Structure 1
Amino acid sequence: MRMRSSLRSLTGRRLRSNPMDLLLVRHGLPVRVEGAEGPADPVLTDEGRRQSERLAEWLAHEHIDHLMSSTLRRAQQTAAPVGDRLGLGVELVQGLSEFDADADSYIPIEELRQTRDPRFFALVEGRWDELGSTVDPSAFADLVHTTIEGVIERFPGQRVAVVCHGGVINLYLGRILGAERHLWFEPGYTSISRVAASRDGHRTIVSLNETAHLIATRVR
């Protein structure tokens, strides 16, 4: 009996010490908006909705404990089919919104890059005011880190999917890696980047920019 008790105690300690699995998911492809009256806050294109449906089918093969989203529409519309497929509600978190939340335009970054638009260089160099953003990059990075660390603290040992934005993902993962630039890689639409977060504060990037769900079907 003492041996069984010891085994149960050991198993319990192992379960409690499991790292928290954090899935950072970028939203699907949104529509292009320029010169809106008020914040652009674009919705998803038809392609973005298809991407979100494929994401939902992919994640249905994993046990997700909690689902969160930025308050912006492109993130909410990406999270919605995931929540429907997994039977989860979507918790909206203001601190997960993108730095351009108040901007009156949304131009997909790939378009800015392909056309060598000066706004692309302003974006990667941290001159976000040239894109209509009113936030300070360093202050925004601190907000993102605090918000996501708060998520980790709330759900120890669980798997949580967070649907947010390219800038948010760059800033959080960049801090783990010690990246010098705020924006150092380009997450694909509905891509998944995974972090294992231990209780002692250690953070491990498990994967970066997973997009297999856009071209493959998961069978188990």
Structure 2
Amino acid sequence: MELLLVRHGRPHRQHAADGDGADPHLTPQGRAEADLLADYLADHPATAPTVVYSSPMRRARQTAEAITSRLVVPLRVDDRLREFDHGAPSYVPLELTAPGQTQAELWRALETGVWGRHTFDPDAFARRIDAVFDEIIATNRSTTVAVVCHGGVLNSFLGGVLARPRGMFFQPEYTSVCRVVASGRGRRLLTLNETTHLQLGRAAEPDAVRDRRHA
């Protein structure tokens, strides 16, 4: 079977005062990114997923809903796909830094269990991610499945596929796709951080729209 691993679209930067903590909604740009991915998958039916799994966190679920609405395939929300920042007071994207913490320190979160002011059990997180992907693979043989999740989830699972030491090793772009082939003989990474759908979408935009979106 083939796994399409998708990072969610661009979310709002939320703080404790906003009330949503580390569970923000997508921005308008994030929704547009999710729609571009959904259109791209629909235009390539031979490799499109027949089912979509999603983290329950808003930024992932809203991205997944864009895909399932366009493809008309089932959506299965699994709590085990939630990010390690679940319950944190604010959302800190991988590409930014948390107050009082350097980028290098943030990127050791899968080893240390420290993400800004939020702490988690990195061993329990790794076991949870391994378990959910083992189940997804075992349940969906000989088909293509999309899993919409988060940067930490992707680094944890793909680090295992590549037999890397635990830790962050790449920064997935918003709505990027990583492809993995899984079978009884093992798992193999095919592509990392695909953003073809975003490039095609931007190329098709009128100049005025593109300039306004990046202003």
Residue 140 (structure 1) aligns with: 125
Residues in 2 aligned to 1:91 and 1:79: alpha-carbon distance in whole angstroms: 9
Unaligned runs of 5+ in 2: 202-215
Residue 105 (structure 2) aligns with: 122
Which one-letter code corresponds to 1:123 in the other structure? Answer: L
Residue 64 (structure 1) aligns with: 49
Q: Percent identity?
A: 41
Aligned positions of 1:1-220 closer than 5 A? 20-36=1-17, 37=19, 39-60=21-42, 61-62=44-45, 63-112=48-97, 118-126=101-109, 127-200=112-185, 202-216=186-200
Assess if the C-alpha contact under 8 Å between 2:85 and 2:115 holds in 1: no
Residue 209 (structure 2) aligns with: none
Name the TM-score, length of structure 2 as normaliser: 0.84
Residues in 1 aligned to 2:95 and 2:154: alpha-carbon distance in whole angstroms: 17
Residue 211 (structure 2) aligns with: none
Residues in 2 aligned to 1:131 and 1:123: alpha-carbon distance in whole angstroms: 7
Output one character per residue of 1:79-136: Cα deviation in whole Å (capped at 9) or x when no partner: 11110110113110001110001101002222329xx962533321223434243421
Classify 1:45/1:112 alpha carbon distance in 2 versus 1 (closer, same or farther; 3 Å): same
Residues in 2 aligned to 1:45 and 1:182: alpha-carbon distance in whole angstroms: 28
Which one-letter code corresponds to 2:6 in the other structure? Answer: V
Residues in 2 aligned to 1:111 and 1:123: alpha-carbon distance in whole angstroms: 9
Superposition RMSD in Å: 1.9
Classify 1:121/1:139 alpha carbon distance in 2 versus 1 (closer, same or farther; 3 Å): same
Residues in 2 aligned to 1:22 and 1:59: alpha-carbon distance in whole angstroms: 13
Work out the number of aligned pairs and report it.
195
Instruction: Give the deviation of 1:38 after TM superposition.
Output: 6.4
Residues in 2 aligned to 1:59 and 1:162: alpha-carbon distance in whole angstroms: 13
Structure 2 residue matching 1:141: 3-state secondary structure = helix
Output one character per residue of 1:150-185: Cα deviation in whole Å (capped at 9) or x when no partner: 100000111000100011010000011122242110
Q: Highest Rg: 1 or 2? A: 1
